[in-house]
Amino acid sequence: MTRHIGEWDEDGPEWGLVLDTTSVLISIHDKDYRIVKANAALRRLLRKGPTEIIGRKCYEVIHGTRQPPAHCPHSRALQTGSFQKEEFFEPRLGMRVALSCHPLFGADGQMTGSLHLGRDAKTQIPSNADPTKDLSDRQKRIFRLLCSGQTTKTIAVQLSVSPRTIEYHKRRMMKMFSASSVAELIARVLTKNPALVE
C-alpha cells in the first residue's frame, strides 16, 4: 500500500484527531509550498477552516504574500534538505513566531515536503521536571517523524536503521511517558515541551 506525506502509521488514529489536542501550531507543507495538513491550533490562529487552508500556498495563507518571505525556513529546507528554524514577527498573526521546519523524505530518499512546528515565541517553557530532556537525539528525530505521520518503515529508511530499531525507540518513549499509543505519546510530549522539536 502506498503511503503519502502526513499519513499515520498502522497503530495510530487520524492525524488531526491527535494533533488537534495540542497548542503547538503544526502543519505539513509539500515541495510546492502547498499546505497538506494543518492542526486545530493553527486553524484557530488563522481563523480559517480546513477548506480555506489545505491545498493553498503557505505564504498566501499565513503572510498574505505572493511569494515566500526572505526568512522562510521551508525555502531553506528545500535548498539544503536539512532542519531549519526561524523566529520572526508576523503582523497578520500579531505575534512573534518560533518556527522549526523538519524535512520529510520519501522511500526514494527525495524530499517530499516539511513538517512545521510553531509556537508563540513569548511562551516560556518550564524547565523543571521536564521528562523530554531524557530523550536521545535519535528519539527526538523519531518523534518528529511520528508527528508527521511517517510509518515505522519510512522512518527506518530515512534514518538508515532497521524497523525493529524504530519500534524499540518508540516503545521506550511510550513507556517513558506512560502512553498506550503513538497518538497519546505525541499529545503528552507536545504538552510537556512544545519546544522539544526545535
Helices 152-159 + 163-176 axis angle, to 10 = 110
**Strand-strand pairing, 35-38 and 84-90:** unpaired
Mean pLDDT for 66-85 is 93
Task: Give me the mean pLDDT over the 63-92 stretch.
Answer: 92
Domain 15-122+130-197, what fold? Beta-Lactamase (3.30.450)
Residues 87 and 121: beta-carbon distance below 8 Å: yes
Could you tell me which of 76, 70, 73, 50 has the C-alpha nearest to residue 61?
50
More confident residue, 135 or 148: 135
pLDDT at position 2: 35
C-alpha cell at 30: 509539500
Dump pLDDT digits (tens) for 80-114. Answer: 998 898 999 999 888 999 998 988 888 788 899 99
Is residue 114 a contact partner of residue 77, using CB atoms and an 8 Å limit? yes
Residue pair 10/33 in contact (Cβ under 8 Å)? The answer is no
Question: Taking the model in full, what pTM does it have?
Answer: 0.70
d(CA 3, CA 155): 12
Q: Quick one: pLDDT band at residue 18, thresholds 50, 70, 90? A: low
The CB density around residue 118, as the number of other CB atoms within 10 Å, is 28
Comparing CA positions, the residue from 34, 22, 28 lying closest to residue 8 is 28
* pLDDT single digits (tens) 112-147: 999 898 888 886 555 555 567 778 889 988 988 888
23-63: per-residue pLDDT in tens?
A: 889 899 999 999 999 999 999 999 999 999 999 999 999 99
pLDDT at 194: 62
DSSP designation for 46 = H
pLDDT bucket at 163, cuts 50 / 70 / 90: very high
Where in the chain are the domains?
15-122+130-197
Residue-level pLDDT at 58: 96
The span from the CA of 84 to the CA of 100, in Å, is 6
Interatomic CA distance for residues 188 and 1, integer angstroms: 30
